[in-house]
Amino acid sequence: MEVGDIWLMDWEQVPHADMIRSYWRICLPDRIPQALLWVGPEGVGKSLAAWMLTKTLLCLKGPHIDPCGECQDCRLIEKLEHPHLWILPPLREKVMLEEAVPLFRQQLQANPYLSLAEWELLLPETKGSLIIGVEAVRRLQEGLSLAVGKKQWRVVWFWHAETLTRQAANALLKLIEEPPQHTLFLFLASRTEPLPLTLRSRCQIWRFPPLSREELEALEGQPLSSALLALAQGSYGRLRRLRTSTFEPYIRALQMWLRSLLQEEGDPAPAIEKLLQAPQLSEILTLGAILIREHPKLSPTQKLIGMDTLLRMADEIEAHLQPALLLWEATLLLRAKWADPKLEGGWIAA
């Protein structure tokens, strides 16, 4: 799928389009909910679906399941610049919404499968984690208080809604319960646990499953190896990152390191040296846990020990512990554990 200056979007470009169209056809034109919560892994097309759904509402001939794609409103939506579309991405402290949203539009046009980690790298370095804060919600409330045409729709995206602070989520409750007329709130989330139950209960929830092998290969335009599919975990966004020149050498180093632990190759030092250069080592280690889970020669117990070790390392690296020390400790631990004959047959008896 190629992205130019303008998306000429239609349903064929949206993963899970048949599922979404069938749900949305039931809602149009007069049963549209005030709030939708879309839950699914990163990289399965939630942003693209939101883009297309927004177009069905804001098209001059809409709301209609198939927008015309030719009117001025459709053209503005294809550039994510329609004045009745509000986008709230998570930001760091002191990053201004007015500066971030144009950058977000530009990045989403270039990569509709943009991940939260990729977005974070594009923002100025300031303190704090990414959040959708209460100030952004207050700005939204002020904007939505302005009058628009009698039958004109407005759409609000909360991109990675799981980053809403508790204060921001609470500020939204009344707005969602008594929304301005012809306003749709779209919450795009990779998980629901961080969102208060009071907010979730006010939304109609749609669940987005991982993409199938056929869907991933259709998007990529070529057959994919089993190893690559295992690492992608049904996410086209992750698959794109795995196939970039940035990721490939570190994935190869990860595979070399794991083979050395299984004593299929000797010295792990070159692989560890390369892994230590990875800009997102915690994500690489998470991918390693997936490779261990899929390995045909490891017993369930060996897989459990390996996955637990790598996932714990990923968390510890996120906490800024020394990655070199962690990698060498894991090397010694897993070599010893995986060589233990008592683990080869499966679970150890208590």
- In degrees rounded to 5, what are phi and psi of residue 7? -75, 125
> 44 vs 12, 72, 237, 240, CA distance in Å?
14, 29, 7, 12
- Degrees (nearest 5) of the Cα angle 181, 50, 40? 120
Quickly state the pLDDT bin for 7 (edges 50, 70, 90): very low
85-110 pLDDT tens trace: 999 999 998 889 999 999 999 999 99
> 178 vs 136, 141, 261, CA distance in Å?
19, 12, 58
Tokens of 210: 């991982």
What integer is the mean pLDDT of 233-260? 88
- In degrees rounded to 5, what are phi and psi of residue 52? -70, -40
Could you give the 3-state DSSP secondary structure of residue 207? strand
| CA proximity to 21, closest of 206, 190, 202 | 206
Specify the DSSP class assigned to residue 260.
H
- In degrees rounded to 5, what are phi and psi of residue 86? -110, 130
276-310 pLDDT tens trace: 998 888 889 989 999 999 888 888 999 999 999 99
Q: Are 314 and 282 a contacting pair, CB within 8 Å?
A: yes
pLDDT, residue 31, reads 92
Longest dimension (CA), the chain: 74
pLDDT, residue 265, reads 64
75-84 pLDDT tens trace: 999 999 999 9
Percent of the chain with pLDDT over 70: 93
Domain 11-209 has CATH 3.40.47.10: no
What integer is the mean pLDDT of 227-237? 89
**Helices and strands: H and E segment counts in the chain:** 16, 5
What integer is the mean pLDDT of 193-215? 95
pLDDT, residue 304, reads 93
Q: Which helix (H) or strand (E) holds 189?
A: strand 183-189
Q: Are 231 and 290 a contacting pair, CB within 8 Å?
A: yes
Q: Are 17 and 46 a contacting pair, CB within 8 Å?
A: no
